Amino acid sequence: MELRFFSKDLIPHHYRKKYQIHTVDWDGTSLHFDSMIPVPIEVQNDILQELGLEIPYKKGEHTTLQGDETLECFFSYAFQRRTTDIHFEPQEKMVSIRYRIDGLLHPVDSISHEEYQKMTRVIKLKGGMDITENRLPQEGGFRHESCQFDIRASIVPSLYGEKAVLRILPVCNQLQKLELLGMTEFQMKFVQNAVRKRSGSIIVNGPTGSGKSTTLHAILQELDCTSKSVLSIEDPIEIVDPIISQFQVDEALGLTYAEYLKRVLRQDPDVILLGEIRDKETARLACEASLTGHYVLSTIHTKTTADVVLRLLEMQLEPFLIADALQLIINQRLIRKSCPYCSVEEKISPMYQKVFHVETQKKGRGCHYCNNTGYLGRVGLFEINQISEKARDFVFSFLSHANVNQCMQLLNEGIAFTMKDHATDLIKRGLTTYQEVLPCL
């Protein structure tokens, strides 16, 4: 197993002085000392106990920390169920475990606080965190032993102990194409026409966890990246694309979105994928880049396409920058798909027949494939807004009238195929139900 740096300051001072310990490494099962005097195994076990760790025990031919086996059981079940996040939630008497599957949390099990504490120590060690710190939030990450998943760990102190959330990211996360995300051919034409231009910008908006990053990387698949210089700045890098240069934001080192964007603009890029527009400086740099011969793809957390323009105006960007730079806004959500193994055709209530102009839908009854939920997997729900010339002119002169309502009305006129239209199309195709799309409309 790969060795991980383990701060020697965590080792009690009298041991460091007696054995003249210089550095310490951790391989997931035991400590390795670089010292002038060899550290006996009995002393190593004493150090583990003083650090609050359990002495390793034999499991077959392997040495494993107590708590690691329990964690592995949860991982194994999570991988089988296509889980994206594991939540460990300390309560007064027990620790509750819930899995996020297809966007919803499902209760799975509960364990004792004693067993959970052993497991959090393992998570901290594997994730490169301080195992002695339980008062402050910590973040870390590691690659699962199967080498098929990366684990991002977040640990935050709560009333009854440390709450841990583990994000599961497939290492070989296959790049998706737009048609596989759920877009209609009509919607894809808007995107394909936009990316053919040499400069401009596409903004994808939606709530956290709605698949915005996946959509951005799918748009890159529409480009000929072999003849272009394509760079991405992300936090974190969740999808590894071998044909582009990717940069990881690290605010602790001062490598923010804005700072990285300033640097990469000097590296002759044709296309820049910006993980998120968070502040005024990043927004200004992105808009200016899209007006100077670069194509910019990015995301903003807003509810509607019109809200994207208003958010940029709130960031005090000049209206002329927004009007000239912005070409296309994609509003999206992720909804669950009807399980293909147990779905049956059913009649829709008359009230919703009038809303969606559909009489029947396919709805899952529940089976072992979908864990008795009736849904299996997710699909994108999209609304694409091509900024009209009339709306562009209005935004350009926004400061002279500042009429927000009229601005939103003109921006909404650029939506040729609304989210409701796409929802109706997905229901007609038997991919989802009206109950699933209603909260998104």
Across 239-393, the runs of DSSP E, i.e. the strands, are 245-248, 271-274, 295-300, 326-338, 343-347, 360-364, 375-386
Q: Would you place residue 4 in the very low, low, confident or very high pLDDT band (cuts 50, 70, 90)?
A: very low
Q: Which domains does the chain have, with CATH numbers?
A: 4-64 (no CATH), 77-170 (3.30.450.90), 178-440 (3.40.50.300)
What are the beta bridge partners of residue 59?
A: 62
What pLDDT, on the 0 to 100 scale, is given for residue 231? 94
Strands 230-234 and 360-364, by their bridges, are unpaired
Contact 173, 180 (CB under 8 A): no
Which tens digits make up the pLDDT trace of 23-51?
776 655 566 777 777 777 777 777 766 66
As a whole number of angstroms, the distance between CA 215 and CA 17 comes to: 55
Using the predicted structure, report yes or no on whether residue 89 has a pLDDT greater than 80.
Answer: yes
Whether this model's pTM surpasses 0.85: no
Would you say residue 1 has pLDDT above 60? no
Lowest mean pLDDT among 170-179, 282-291, 349-358: 170-179
- SS3 for 307? helix
pLDDT digits (tens, 9 = 90+) for 319-329: 888 888 888 99
Percent of the chain's residues with pLDDT above 90:
40
123-152 per-position pLDDT tens digit: 988 888 888 888 999 998 888 888 888 899
* pLDDT tens-digit readout, 244-270: 999 999 888 889 999 999 999 999 999
Assess whether pLDDT exceeds 70 at residue 68.
yes
